[in-house]
Amino acid sequence: MIKFTVLSTKGGVGKTTLAANLGALMADMGLRVLLVDADVQPALSKYYRIKREAPFGLTKVITTGYVTEDCISQTVIDGLDVIRSDDPDGSLQTWLLHRIDRGERLGNALNSPAVSEDYYDCVLIDTQGTVGPLQDTAALAATQIISPIKPEILSAREFKTGTMPSAYETMHALLWELVPSLAGHYAGSETAQDTGRDGAEA
């Protein structure tokens, strides 16, 4: 199953519009798509009319670590479901911050039976244009990351100096925290690339 996360540290670049339209396009092609609204501003949750509204949403998914049927709402578009954002106060950011498994939380939840390939072909995760543990777990849940960039210098600069370094630092820090031995090996490999055989800088 392909899991896309639409990610950018800059707001207003069209992440929600891209996620919503890409999801609808794939559903129109016959794929079964699950949208996940991981933005505290629930624009994706309201993008399409809801045919069957689930009593719960992203908060239950993150805090329990599972996706269950009572977290998945059905839109009026056949084959397009959504896990709604239901955290207007942004409390999930704080809740995740104090968990050692914060980076893996959403990814593990999306491995639940309710999101298996028996039900969905693709997952699309929308995120807020900022940096935080909710964005981190959304990024690490993906098999592919999409980062929209407007054809303007400010958006390109933010992608280069904000989105890319943030994603790298997040993955490196979580790797170090969760798998110290592997992270140490990774750091050693980077050092080896920067030095010659005799230990001098290349």
Per-residue pLDDT tens for 112-127?
999 999 999 999 999 9
Range of the domain at 32: 2-151
Residue 67: which CATH number? Answer: 3.40.50.300
Over residues 69-87, the mean pLDDT reads 97
Number of neighbouring beta carbons within 10 Å of residue 193: 8
Q: Is residue 156 in a domain?
A: no
Q: Is residue 198 in a domain?
A: no
Q: Identity (one letter) of the amino acid at 137?
A: T
Q: Is residue 163 in a domain?
A: no
Is the distance from CB of 104 to CB of 137 less than 8 angstroms?
yes
Is the distance from CB of 83 to CB of 73 less than 8 angstroms?
yes
Q: Is residue 164 in a domain?
A: no
CA 104 to CA 137: how far, in whole Å? Answer: 6
Q: Is residue 108 in a domain?
A: yes
What tens digit of pLDDT does each residue of 161-185 get? 656 566 556 565 555 555 554 445 4
Q: Is residue 182 in a domain?
A: no
Q: Is residue 121 in a domain?
A: yes
> The pTM is what?
0.77
DSSP class per residue in 26-38: HHHTT--EEEEEE
**Residue 132: pLDDT band by 50, 70, 90 thresholds?**
confident
- Taking the CA of residue 48 as centre, how many other CA atoms within 13 Å lie in the half-sphere pointing to its CB? 29
**Residue 156: pLDDT band by 50, 70, 90 thresholds?**
low
- In Å, the largest CA–CA distance within the chain is 67
Among residues 201, 128, 147, 188, the alpha carbon closest in space to that of 6 is found at 147
DSSP, res 103 = T
Is the distance from CB of 7 to CB of 166 less than 8 angstroms?
no
Q: Is residue 175 in a domain?
A: no
CA 97 to CA 150: how far, in whole Å? Answer: 31
Domains of the chain: total: 1
CA 1 to CA 29: how far, in whole Å? Answer: 16
